[in-house]
Structure 1
Amino acid sequence: MRIAIVTDAWEPQINGVVRTLQSVRRELEKMGHDVHVFSPDQFYSLPCPTYSEIRLALVTAEQLGAALMRIAPDAIHIATEGPLGFAARRWCRRNGLAFTTAYHTQFPDYVSKRTGLPADWIWPLMRRFHAPSSAVLTATDSIRRELRVHGITHVAPWGRGVDLASFSPGAPPHPALADLPGPVMLYVGRVAIEKNIEAFLGCRHPGSKVVVGDGPARTALQRRHPEALFLGALSGPALAGAYAGADAFVFPSRTDTFGLVMIEALASGTPVAAYPVSGPLDVLNSEVACLDPDLDAAIAGALTRDRCACARYGALFSWERSAREFLSALVPIIREFDKAA
């Protein structure tokens, strides 16, 4: 099958959406499918206000449609609710083509945090965007319930996986963590306001706090919290070593739909501390994590968890299974010659 994935989130961005799409594309190609990604780097784009690392493509439905027609896809998936996503949606609707969409992020909450607008004002736009899709792919049961509450009912499961060749308890610890006073508490992800990193950095639990990642909030957070170690964005063995070298992984976000970094940490043998909210409640259990409204209490609890149990639990998440769920949700495009046959 020739599959077109249209996404506003792509390289060089480093986030859960990009890593999910990269991993699923790799698995689909192993299965013999032909996957084409349409992303901002292929069109003229401008930096997103307040978040320059994100590029916003300036593209019309006709321009994107012409690019899609050149590959003649058998199925189209629109991954994000950005300029490219809206252009693909318009083109598919004009031409009567079926497509699927995904709900990767709590977009109304993110917009609310960045603009001050009520999240309820954004939900009508979400309903309008996803309404014509054949299915809205979502990672967890709680997000599917929330979407149904907001009138988006045609939802389908699409789980996440871990690259077990990269993330394991046997990864050599990152050298920057070696001499830090323990316990070492780690955050990995975008350094942005919606990730609630301030809650982690404000924790009173003794030990060392380490932040891996980059983003628009890094400079301000680094200035307010000179006691924390900011390592910037890491990948490959350096990232694996950060996970494996930490004593607890702290996930302070209240708005993520899944939290891919949590299962990467678990696969590395590192227990998770988080709030009892969507994402952690869906993904974690009490054997490998501690969820508490008090993040200090969550950290204290996580430090008592067995690292071998964490590694076993993290190994349950498979990108192959994720790719098969994605594939089963796609809706083949019926062309005129297919109808004639």
Structure 2
Amino acid sequence: MRIALFTDTYYPQINGVATSIMILEKYLAKRGHEVFIFTSSDSQADLLKESGKVFRFRSLGAIFVPERRLAIAGLYRASHLIEELGIDVIHTHTEFSMGFMGKLLAKKYHLPCIHTYHTMYKDYLHYIAKGKLITPSMVGAFSRLFCKRTFAVIAPTEKVKKQLETYQINEQIRTIPTGIDFERFRRRFNYSEVNQTIRSQLGINQSDKVLLSVGRIAIEKNMRAIILAMPELVKKQPHVKLVMVGDGPAKKELVALTKQLNLTSNILFTGAVRWDDIHMYYHMADIFVSASTSETQGLTYIEAIASNLLVVAKDDICIKDMLIHKKTGFLFQEDHQLATLLDQIMTKTSEISLIKKQARRQIEHLSATHFANHIEQLYSEAVQIYSPQPSRMFS
């Protein structure tokens, strides 16, 4: 099959959506499919390397998520590309500009359109007039409108599926978790060398205990709760370090908070890290920690487990089948419980090895291979139902 993926975010941007698309692209290509990416412009993109596979369209920064970009032109160009490339199926990964472009082109060429609902927008409303302009009911109406007349809507977790059902979306909803490339995160023979190199670069001693946070640094990720847990934890565990990998709109505020708490030697901000290097940061850490409840799936949790890290997370429905308290990880209910929980984990380590082993077994079904298998099957179903009957919408 020849597949067109429409997205507002793609490499070199690092986030859950871009990661999901890169994994899908890689594993579909392994099966002999041809995958083309239609996405927004990015000044950091390697256009020469992408040539022929990635098509970028002029864009502006989005108000609600400043790091995302929304295409503002290119419908005619995209239309010609769909025809020239002989696309069989269109898969949209955004509800905004590139997503609407994908839906229009699917209608024009009578192609199946499959949509993945990646983002819980109700957790992002604070970006628009501090949450006073757009209401959750408006998000539901917008989501329902976008998903209308798609062949299927993919929900990465049951949490997302239930949310879509509350929006009264009548299209078939398939729960297909994004898988990850386990091999990429497996600790290799040179693990100790990588560990020493990254820790040395960050000024961390080999004897220090390292907590790791990976992801977009934004209000909805609740990373502030992790920083606020550090003063109490440092009193009991003076050699603990928190490494925050990523960038985002809340970084400046959190750096200021770190200085205010006199924790600049214990809390380190790396900024954005290249996708090719991200696994090394997992490998140099001891514990992965998250206080977010805005995840649709929590790919970073899966990456951490695959990297043989212990995961400590705030309890949330999206991880209920992955993280079971004291069996496959550790969960806390309230932010104020985090410091005590981390101290207990660092003090009592006898059961940690077993918990990490059980966690790895728990995520076996979340491999990239399984993910691509399910998506490929859905594409095949869709293509069998549709037949090419192009209209002349733009002629």
TM over 0.5: yes
Give RMSD over aligned pairs.
2.4
Answering whether residue 337 of structure 2 is matched by residue 320 of structure 1, we say no
Distance (Å, rounded) in 2 between the aligned partners of 1:316 and 1:322: 9
Matching residue of 2:114: 100
* Counterpart pick for 1:77 among 59, 72, 91: 91
Structure 1 residue identity aligned to 2:146:
F
Distance (Å, rounded) in 1 between the aligned partners of 2:180 and 2:342: 23
Q: Closer, same or farther in 2 for the Cα pair 1:44/1:235, shift >3 Å?
A: closer
Question: Contact between 1:138 and 1:155, CA under 8 Å: does it hold in 2?
Answer: yes
* Counterpart pick for 2:182 among 164, 168, 171: 164
Deviation at 1:301, TM superposition (A): 6.4
Structure 1 residue identity aligned to 2:329:
A
Distance (Å, rounded) in 1 between the aligned partners of 2:367 and 2:316: 23
Deviation at 1:53, TM superposition (A): 3.2
Alignment of 1:226-265 (within 5 A): 226=259, 227=263, 228-235=267-274, 238-265=277-304
Distance (Å, rounded) in 2 between the aligned partners of 1:236 and 1:122: 31
Deviation larger for 238-247 or 213-222: 238-247
Distance (Å, rounded) in 2 between the aligned partners of 1:102 and 1:247: 33
Deviation at 1:279, TM superposition (A): 2.0
Alignment gaps of 5+ in structure 1: none
Answering whether residue 155 of structure 2 is matched by residue 138 of structure 1, we say yes
Deviation at 1:240, TM superposition (A): 1.9
Deviation at 1:133, TM superposition (A): 0.8
Question: Contact between 2:305 and 2:360, CA under 8 Å: does it hold in 1?
Answer: yes
Distance (Å, rounded) in 2 between the aligned partners of 1:312 and 1:178: 31
Provide, for residues 193-225 of structure 1, a one-character-per-residue CA deviation record: whole Å limited to 9, x for no partner: 221111121114333221001122212211221
Deviation larger for 92-101 or 143-152: 92-101
**SS of aligned partner of 1:10:** coil
* Counterpart pick for 2:220 among 194, 201, 218: 194
The percent identity for this pair of structures is 28
Distance (Å, rounded) in 2 between the aligned partners of 1:113 and 1:288: 34
Answering whether residue 313 of structure 2 is matched by residue 285 of structure 1, we say no
Q: Closer, same or farther in 2 for the Cα pair 1:302/1:134, shift >3 Å?
A: farther
Provide, for residues 275-320 of structure 1, a one-character-per-residue CA deviation record: whole Å limited to 9, x for no partner: 2113222432332211221241554566553244444545553101
Matching residue of 1:210: 243
Question: Contact between 1:99 and 1:133, CA under 8 Å: does it hold in 2?
Answer: yes
Question: Contact between 1:248 and 1:302, CA under 8 Å: does it hold in 2?
Answer: no
Structure 1 residue identity aligned to 2:280:
G
Provide, for residues 227-250 of structure 1, a one-character-per-residue CA deviation record: whole Å limited to 9, x for no partner: 210011224674223212222211
Distance (Å, rounded) in 2 between the aligned partners of 1:250 and 1:7: 29
Structure 1 residue identity aligned to 2:367:
S
Q: Closer, same or farther in 2 for the Cα pair 1:182/1:112, shift >3 Å?
A: same
**SS of aligned partner of 1:148:** helix
Distance (Å, rounded) in 2 between the aligned partners of 1:255 and 1:222: 22
Answering whether residue 209 of structure 2 is matched by residue 183 of structure 1, we say yes
Paired residue total: 337
Deviation larger for 228-237 or 266-275: 228-237
Question: Contact between 1:267 and 1:315, CA under 8 Å: does it hold in 2?
Answer: no
Distance (Å, rounded) in 1 between the aligned partners of 2:207 and 2:218: 26
Structure 2 residue identity aligned to 1:83:
S
Structure 2 residue identity aligned to 1:152:
I
Matching residue of 1:34: 34
Answering whether residue 255 of structure 2 is matched by residue 225 of structure 1, we say no
**SS of aligned partner of 2:124:** helix
Distance (Å, rounded) in 2 between the aligned partners of 1:129 and 1:50: 18
The TM-score with structure 2 as length reference comes to 0.78
**SS of aligned partner of 1:283:** coil
Which consecutive segments of 4 or more residues in structure 1 shift more than 6 A? none
**SS of aligned partner of 2:184:** coil
Higher share in helix: 2
The TM-score with structure 1 as length reference comes to 0.90
Deviation at 1:62, TM superposition (A): 4.0
* Counterpart pick for 1:54 among 53, 68, 71: 68
Distance (Å, rounded) in 2 between the aligned partners of 1:30 and 1:284: 31
Distance (Å, rounded) in 1 between the aligned partners of 2:376 and 2:39: 20
Matching residue of 1:16: 16
Distance (Å, rounded) in 2 between the aligned partners of 1:101 and 1:28: 17
**SS of aligned partner of 1:53:** coil
